[in-house]
Amino acid sequence: MHGLHLTAELYGCRCDRQLLDDAGALRELCLAVCSLPGLTPLAEVFHQFGSDSDPAGATGAVVLAESHLAVHTWPESAAVTLDLYVCNFSQDNSSAARQACGQLIAAFAPSQLVQRELQRGIPADQATGSPADHAVSGD
């Protein structure tokens, strides 16, 4: 159960509009960034909102052997939310999770970013500190 949970809210995304509008493009990106650092996609589901002629965002989830990735887009606000959790049962997957999350953030090119890291599966009497919050503004 011990693992790393990464979340991010991306605002003012300056990426190709297709990444925000098209579930197919979002799917390709998500599978690519999970596979590169060595995470193992097992299944996925992506949903297109709106229609082909008038897309209104997408949402998707990738079930990983290590846990999951969920991404939701709001093209009308140029915004995205990311949620990536990896368990560290048989090996520490934290580096792979951070790499995948970093690649997703880079692909969406936000002008503002709020990231959080939460260590999960650590009993309260063994935990130290609080979750890390990082707000970053782009140029």
Tokens describing residue 75: 């093209």
E-strand ranges in 25-131 read: 41-50, 55-64, 67-74, 79-87, 112-120
Q: Which helix (H) or strand (E) holds 23?
A: helix 23-35
Catalytic position from the list 13, 30, 34, 67: 67
Catalytic position from the list 72, 94, 95, 137: 72
- What is the CA 118 to chain-centroid distance, rounded? 14
Active site residue 134: no
Active site residue 101: no
Active site residue 34: no
Catalytic position from the list 13, 30, 34, 87: 87
Euclidean distance between CA atoms 76 and 20, whole angstroms: 9
In this structure, what DSSP letter does residue 54 have?
A: S
Helices 23-35, 94-108: inter-axial angle, 10-degree rounding: 150
* Helix (H/G/I), strand (E/B), else coil: 8: strand
Q: Which residues are catalytic?
A: 67, 72, 87
